[in-house]
Amino acid sequence: MLRGMKRLNRYENRILKIAKLGGKLVRLKQYGFSTKTEEGFRFPIYVLEIGKPKALKKNLAGVIAGVHGLETIGIRVLLDFLDYIFARKTSVLYQEIKNGEVGIVCIPILNPGGVALKRRSNPKGVDLMRNSGVEAVKAPFFFGGHKYSNIFPYYRGKVLQTESRVLDRFFHEYFLKAENEMIPVVDIHSGFGVVDHVWWPYASTHEPCVDETLFQKIAFHFTNSLNHFLYRFGPQSETYTTHGDLWDRLYDRFQKITHETRTVQKSRFLPLTLEIGTWSDINIDPLKLFRKRGIFNPARESKQKSIVSHRKFLTDMMRLAKMNSSDLS
Ligand SMILES: [Zn+2]
């Protein structure tokens, strides 16, 4: 566990540094704990609130990483993005945050126990992205999530895990109360494939979600007006279906609650998964196939380049929070 702990400490130090750099514009909250390890350890889960209180309510966006403990590239992309905003304080997004036009909430590491133990699942062996209880119409055997045992990967768990409940609370406290028309939330993962995918709901079914048209409009805008043509947009089920996706559950909950209360009816909750393809550099570093974290993370030489390349994408995603869907072209 020692090397994993060191890695986790390094990330936590970077989170502290960002909170310090951000001054009054950043608030660091200890928001909950992970499930316990066999030895009885629990790891803190942090939330960063970025921007003025008014913007956090009226122009809110979100970023999450570290749902899977081995996909550390996602955590580094998130931290690099925040470093980039606050280290030089010259970007357009920094100005917008300062002016109260954009507010961002982050969970840099939802599964700190998985990072410390160097595994995909949480300390109880549950794959958080199979844990929501949503049943897929038809999911691939095993990989799509199973209920056999936590000794195998992709285990769904019997109950909603502490980490999943932290995400629930985060959703209720921030996204459900936000008043902007488009509430973009990016959850950063890695692995599987040679291109970077951007997925919207659903993971559980090929049925289009109610915001399918809006998601397609965003994809068109990103590809054609903002030049993000290296990202491949689409509903997650186009790539593969799974049981228990946490975003499927929260997305449906948002529709249900806003339908019942009609208080924030015009707002759209737009969860997107950025799945960074890390197989493209296997030819540079063929040995990565044999390393545990290998297939989920880019080769060392191209790592920094890969991390930096997502700054503009995340910037443009966060800026959706201050736009109207009619501004998309
Ligand atoms: Zn993942």
pLDDT in tens, 171-204: 999 999 999 999 999 999 998 678 899 999 999 9
What is residue 81's predicted lDDT score, i.e. its pLDDT? 97
Q: How confident is the model at residue 305 (pLDDT cuts 50, 70, 90)?
A: confident
**Residue 285 pLDDT exceeds 60:** no
Lowest mean pLDDT, pick from 190-194, 198-202, 292-296, 323-327: 292-296
What is residue 146's predicted lDDT score, i.e. its pLDDT? 95
pLDDT tens profile 55-93: 999 999 999 999 999 999 999 999 999 999 998 899 999
| Residue 17 to residue 191: CA distance in whole angstroms | 28
Residue 115 CA to ligand 1 center (angstroms) comes to 12
Share of the chain above pLDDT 90, in %: 81
Residue 99 CA to ligand 1 center (angstroms) comes to 34
Mean pLDDT of the chain: 92
Q: How confident is the model at residue 291 (pLDDT cuts 50, 70, 90)?
A: low
| Residue 252 to residue 195: CA distance in whole angstroms | 28
Residue 258 CA to ligand 1 center (angstroms) comes to 28
Length of the chain, in residues: 329
Token pair, residue 216, equals 């397609």
| Residue 211 to residue 188: CA distance in whole angstroms | 21
Residue 188 CA to ligand 1 center (angstroms) comes to 8
CATH of domain 2-322: 3.40.630.10
pLDDT tens profile 5-14: 999 999 999 9
**Residue 280 pLDDT exceeds 80:** no
Residue 1 CA to ligand 1 center (angstroms) comes to 21
Tell me phi and psi for residue 4, to 5 degrees. -65, -40
**Residue 281 pLDDT exceeds 60:** no
Residue 56 CA to ligand 1 center (angstroms) comes to 27
**Residue 113 pLDDT exceeds 90:** yes
- The ranges assigned to domains in the chain are 2-322
What is residue 58's predicted lDDT score, i.e. its pLDDT? 97
What is residue 88's predicted lDDT score, i.e. its pLDDT? 85
Token pair, residue 175, equals 């996204």
Residue 119 CA to ligand 1 center (angstroms) comes to 11
Query: In 3D, which of 328, 323, 314 has the Cα closest to residue 221?
Result: 328
Residue 71 CA to ligand 1 center (angstroms) comes to 6
Q: How confident is the model at residue 267 (pLDDT cuts 50, 70, 90)?
A: very high
Q: How confident is the model at residue 286 (pLDDT cuts 50, 70, 90)?
A: low
Residue 36 CA to ligand 1 center (angstroms) comes to 21
Contact predicate 46/109, CB 8 Å: yes
Residue 97 CA to ligand 1 center (angstroms) comes to 29
Residue 144 CA to ligand 1 center (angstroms) comes to 13
Query: In 3D, which of 103, 107, 98, 104 has the Cα closest to residue 24?
Result: 98
Contact predicate 122/161, CB 8 Å: yes
What is residue 261's predicted lDDT score, i.e. its pLDDT? 78
Lowest mean pLDDT, pick from 75-84, 123-132, 259-268: 259-268
pLDDT tens profile 21-53: 999 999 999 999 999 999 999 999 999 999 999
Q: Please give the sequence-ordered ranges of beta strands (E in DSSP) within the chain, or none if there are none.
A: 26-33, 44-50, 60-65, 103-107, 182-190, 196-200, 231-235, 268-276
| Sequence-distant (≥ 6) Cβ neighbours of residue 180 within 8 angstroms | 58, 59, 60, 267, 321, 322
